[in-house]
Structure 1
Amino acid sequence: MYSALFQMRFGYRFVAVLAVVLSLVLSGGSANAQVTAYKQAVATAAANDAALAEFYKSRNYKSIWTGRAGKDGQRRKAFLAALAKAGDHGLPVKRYDVEGLRARLKAAKTGRDRGRMEVEMSRLFLQYAEDMRSGVVNPRQIDSGMVRKVLHYDRLQTLQAFAKSSPAGFLKKLPPKTPEYLRLMKEKRKLEKLLGRGGYGPKVAAASLKPGATGASVVALRNRLVAMGYLKRSSTQTYDAKMQKAIQLFQRDHGLPTNGVAGKATMAEINKPAEYRLRSIIVAMERERWFNQPRGKRHILVNLTDFTAKIIDNNKVTFVTRSVVGKNEGDRRTPEFSDVMEFMIINPTWNVPRSIAIKEYLPLLKRNPNAVGHLKLVDARGRTVNRGAVDFSQYNERTFPFNLKQPPSRGNALGLVKFMFPNKYNIYLHDTPSKNLFNRNVRAFSHGCIRLQQPFDFAYALLAKQMSNPQEYFQTILKTGRETKVDLKTPVPVHLIYRTAITKPKGGMEYRRDVYGRDAKIFNALSKAGVVLRAVRG
């Protein structure tokens, strides 16, 4: 009781330090002066951090870093070596100040100085571990559309596990172990070396170039294609067949129509500097740290910048289709998150989201009660309401009391099937009657949900895991015209991601446009945290 009252009055930090001091005084002896000063310094430095305070208290303030021999030396060596390579991972090197840390460790001669350095090392270790495993910055603080749940590790458990482990082995396990992350690191090193040699070289001055063209702009185009690895060195000054093929490969890797003509869009991508691509890779590595968690042996991956939806089984793409994502305006941008697909609905009813009903359709109904005649007006009890009996002019966005619904049909806004992974953002995958949009290169047109070009084939691929003839089963239900829910016997994780830099398994990169400007925001936040671009010479 007295301990609780004391803590309430004087605070946790004071009580923790006082307890250490009393125990040390009771142990007595001038021979223990250095030990006493060391432990007192540890207790004081750690007192305002619950995890650190508990960790050192539980081991009677014994060091893990600053001891003169044994495991402490191994930990120091391994950690300092890891910090020296933090830049390889696109981490903020300045945040760790490894050279300053070495100097402070060397200068720590007294028990008090060693105690302070002990806690500083642990605090820095926890910061490094968090940065490496979970990311340097918080996505939710950067953009409202980045709502991914990032896995954060318990700080006390992290310290305890490290103290019991092989130091080098523990540190080696911190970064994501996904093939994508490892390949991104490799491509980052290649691009840094290229920057050290001058990058891609001068930009191409021409707005566009076609096969058969000649002159200085063609030479500049040739040199950039060589630097990027799409063309072997040559002395040609003509946009010949080899250059046309190189442009087609470049277009494929950048999500452009592969016509072999360096038009406006292609030239814009060709002229982006190596520094821009390096920023994309560093952001992709940070995103991979946010996504550092199991994805499922079978999962659905939707890359918003690539406008594709894929089914992946045991790390192999087994199905892919084009997609349309949210328009780049207001609240239409598709958010990034993960959830689990539980069922599909064949012949769905479209329950018009309230935001669409009041912002888009209510103004139309005020002008003409018979507008959007394909939608039913439904009251709070689920009854269909006669529009002729409603004075829409008396309602505003706040008071509009009706729901709008579109019955199942081929003209339904959701098409003939939707795929549900229930979430608070009301995002799902679905069919669409607007098939022409899939021919566009940039496909950001929806209100936020993801439209699929081949929804039936997507459904067959999902159902193939639970029945022998999924196509016949699906089509039989479809022909009834009735809304039908079909459960997936094994729910499938769905991951909505946003990657402008994607590695190819056999080497090389693919790049996409930053359609929502999110990657630019991320790199800006990383820069403020201390991340810098490197050019490696030699």
Structure 2
Amino acid sequence: LSMPRFQSVVFTAVCSFLLAACQEESEAPRPEAPIAVTADTIIATFPVPTLDTSEINAFFETHATLLPFAGAVADYYAAGDGKYVWFNTTGVKEQAGFFLNLLRNLSTEGIDDTLAYSRRSDSLLQIIAGAGYSYSGGDAQTAELELLLTSQFFAYSDRVYSGLNENTSRSLAWYIRRKHLTLSELLDTLLEQGPEAFVSVLPLHPQYHLLKEASSQLLRIQDAEWPVLSLPEDVRYLQAGDSSELVAAVQYRLHLLGDQDSIVQLGVFDTVTALAVRHFQQRHGLSVDGHAGPFFFRELNISPATRLQQLYANMERYRWLGNSMQGSYLLANIPEFKLYVIEEDTLAWDMNIIVGKASTGTIIFNDELEQVVFSPYWIVPSSIIRNEIIPAMIKDKSYLQRNNMEVYHLQNRQTIAHAGWDWSQWAKSGFPYGIRQRPGAGNALGRVKFLFPNQYYIYFHDTPTRDLFSRTQRTFSHGCIRLSEPARLAKYLLRNDSTWNRAAIDSAMYLQQSTYVQLSTPVPVFITYFTCRADSSGTLYWSSDVYGHDAALIKALKAGAAVAIN
């Protein structure tokens, strides 16, 4: 393969990196150790101090940034008769140190900011936990620290565990119902269960923690130079056997990103490099062929710094989700074009799906699947009638008949004869009837659909157009979700109903009339938008931001820090 030479400095940089990498492995910045809190020198014990309303009011007069949480703090202490919660009979609890350690490492949660008065809390804790301080119950310093910790916990939890407010998430097209945390109960739980609870007892989906752990890989290389790499105009792709400085640059990046453990032949597209390219393609939802083509370079040119922001955006979405996805449910993730069947928090199986086009995007929401409909009619949406069917009927009066469609009355649902109609009269005005497609081989919904009644008219269904499932990017529908294995899902959902065995299901799918089957127990459905996930080994997988939601969320995160975050 003949290729133009890259600037020699690029090749030199690659070689220098490899030599350095052999000598020393870079390490991710580690969070600071928790502040040590001991009470070894304290012998006397004192009753747990209490706060009164005047002390709480005075605190917020001098700590105005935390004022939005004044009502919650006052209610919290009123419910507990004003007793301190961060102190016991001998002094400050060790949980205080663990919590302040979380504040000091807020960046590990993907939040580039600091909490209000965090330095003051650190200073007070060092004084009160220090050898020179003699604890004797409540005083001005313990009262300030007590109220700082509680107020900061409410502020921290509101941002880290709940995320941006619901108005913001809905403005970003996220309509999954959000659970609102009871922060007072969460604080009580964490303080009762000990310091380790600040890590183990968190109201977040496990994927949040996997992404947080995996972020260290990108943090290590976020400042790496990342110039655009591109193929020469006369080259379709790099492949095994090629050699050039471009190959060396690709190897360097694959090594940085963890796809290529070692570079055996610098600048040579060898077997090791081909395997690394395939691994990279698999992680980025590309066709896995071992060729470094245009789509490969499109993903490879996204810098670690940009990927880190994308990862943080997905962590934010998991905050909105909280711990609502638990047990058994169906999860359709739009950017992955995948439906996951989850049984008791474990993946049972998955299938490929087709989602809405950018102009008719699939809505992000949750509901419960209640019905399976065999041999369904397709009720044509009014937008499709207006934009597609009426223009087609103006050109070809046989369009409805050829597509096995009929016109019906909206009130009584009865079929209406339409022979001889002048369809041009509705070219610019509303069509007063409905149109539906009869069950059959060419039905747009295929042989079965799955209903979870919702205001968006979104549902799962079969499709007669099977070839589209082989595409890597599958945005072809008007908004509903097409399934690659609809019969399998029907059999799965009805597996505990002896009436609906395999033969009965297969028969019902090929009738001329629809059969509705009500599920005995509705199944939760989540239609999500996650462009990044991590597995238990820390490997990161990426999906295309098909609707542009990542870019909008990253912008919102930069502009919309929560109240009490400086």
**Into which bin does the TM-score normalised by the smaller protein fall?**
0.7 to 0.9
Contact 2:53 2:74 in 1 (8 A): no
Contact 1:37 1:111 in 2 (8 A): no
In structure 1, what is the equivalent of residue 40 of structure 2? none
Contact 2:326 2:345 in 1 (8 A): no
**Deviations 1:48-78 (CA, angstroms, capped at 9, x unpaired):** 844333233444545446x797465545423
Change (3 A) 1:203 1:175: farther
Change (3 A) 1:283 1:353: same
State the one-letter code of the partner of 1:237: G
State the one-letter code of the partner of 2:379: N
TM, length-normalised to structure 2: 0.77
Aligned 1:505-520 pairs, distance under 5 A:
505-520=536-551
SS of the residue aligned with 1:277?
helix
Q: Tell me, yes or no, if structure 1 residue 132 matches structure 2 residue 160.
A: yes
Choose between structure 1 and 2: higher helix proportion: 1
Aligned 1:412-451 pairs, distance under 5 A:
412-451=443-482
Change (3 A) 1:47 1:304: closer
Q: Tell me, yes or no, if structure 1 residue 77 matches structure 2 residue 97.
A: yes
Aligned pairs, number = 493
Q: Distance in 1 between matches of 2:391 and 2:141?
A: 71
In structure 1, what is the equivalent of residue 28 of structure 2? none
Aligned 1:253-402 pairs, distance under 5 A:
253-329=283-359, 332-365=360-393, 370-373=398-401, 374=403, 375-379=405-409, 380-388=411-419, 390-395=421-426, 399-402=430-433
Contact 2:408 2:414 in 1 (8 A): yes
**Deviations 1:364-403 (CA, angstroms, capped at 9, x unpaired):** 4456555444321111221222223644444477743211
Q: Tell me, yes or no, if structure 1 residue 181 matches structure 2 residue 208.
A: yes
Contact 1:181 1:285 in 2 (8 A): yes
Q: Distance in 2 between matches of 1:451 and 1:133?
A: 34
Cα deviation for residue 415 of structure 1 reads 0.7
Change (3 A) 1:270 1:470: farther
SS of the residue aligned with 2:273?
helix
In structure 2, what is the equivalent of residue 19 of structure 1? none
Q: Distance in 1 between matches of 2:227 and 2:60?
A: 58
Contact 1:296 1:493 in 2 (8 A): no
Contact 2:106 2:112 in 1 (8 A): yes
State the one-letter code of the partner of 2:259: Y
1:56 to 66, 72, 77: 77
Change (3 A) 1:39 1:216: closer
Contact 2:369 2:525 in 1 (8 A): yes
Aligned 1:160-239 pairs, distance under 5 A:
165-166=192-193, 168-173=195-200, 175-176=202-203, 178-195=205-222, 198=224, 203-206=228-231, 208-231=237-260, 232-239=262-269
Q: Distance in 2 between matches of 1:49 and 1:40?
A: 8
Which sections of structure 1, spanning at least 5 residues, go unmatched?
1-33, 532-538
In structure 1, what is the equivalent of residue 46 of structure 2? none
Q: Distance in 2 between matches of 1:345 and 1:118?
A: 59
SS of the residue aligned with 2:455?
coil
Cα deviation for residue 271 of structure 1 reads 1.9
Q: Tell me, yes or no, if structure 1 residue 150 matches structure 2 residue 178.
A: yes
**Deviations 1:412-466 (CA, angstroms, capped at 9, x unpaired):** 1101111112222111111111112112221101011000122122322333343
Change (3 A) 1:48 1:506: closer
Contact 1:54 1:156 in 2 (8 A): no
**Deviations 1:319-351 (CA, angstroms, capped at 9, x unpaired):** 32211100011xx11111222212211100001
Q: Distance in 1 between matches of 2:187 and 2:275?
A: 54
Q: Distance in 2 between matches of 1:247 and 1:35?
A: 65
2:58 to 26, 41, 45: 41
Change (3 A) 1:120 1:363: farther
Moved more, 522-531 or 45-54: 45-54
Cα deviation for residue 260 of structure 1 reads 1.1
In structure 2, what is the equivalent of residue 26 of structure 1? none
Contact 2:335 2:531 in 1 (8 A): yes
* CA-atom RMSD in angstroms: 3.5
2:110 to 90, 93, 105: 90
Contact 1:35 1:111 in 2 (8 A): no
Q: Distance in 2 between matches of 1:149 and 1:339?
A: 9
State the one-letter code of the partner of 1:223: Y
Contact 2:52 2:82 in 1 (8 A): no
Q: Distance in 2 between matches of 1:47 and 1:274?
A: 36
In structure 2, what is the equivalent of residue 483 of structure 1? 514
Change (3 A) 1:93 1:111: same
Q: Tell me, yes or no, if structure 1 residue 461 matches structure 2 residue 492.
A: yes
SS of the residue aligned with 2:159?
helix
Cα deviation for residue 203 of structure 1 reads 4.7
SS of the residue aligned with 1:387?
coil
SS of the residue aligned with 1:514?
coil
Percentage of matched positions with identical amino acids: 27
Cα deviation for residue 353 of structure 1 reads 1.8
In structure 1, what is the equivalent of residue 22 of structure 2? none
State the one-letter code of the partner of 2:73: L
Change (3 A) 1:411 1:391: same
Cα deviation for residue 265 of structure 1 reads 0.5
State the one-letter code of the partner of 1:165: E
Cα deviation for residue 214 of structure 1 reads 1.2
Cα deviation for residue 289 of structure 1 reads 1.9
SS of the residue aligned with 2:412?
coil
Q: Distance in 1 between matches of 2:352 and 2:558?
A: 34
Q: Distance in 2 between matches of 1:225 and 1:346?
A: 48
TM, length-normalised to structure 1: 0.81
**Deviations 1:303-331 (CA, angstroms, capped at 9, x unpaired):** 111111121223443332211100011xx
SS of the residue aligned with 1:127?
helix
Contact 2:439 2:511 in 1 (8 A): no
Change (3 A) 1:261 1:64: same
Q: Distance in 1 between matches of 2:78 and 2:461?
A: 56
Change (3 A) 1:63 1:418: same
Moved more, 142-151 or 514-523: 142-151
Which sections of structure 2, spanning at least 5 residues, go unmatched?
1-50, 129-137
Contact 1:132 1:175 in 2 (8 A): no
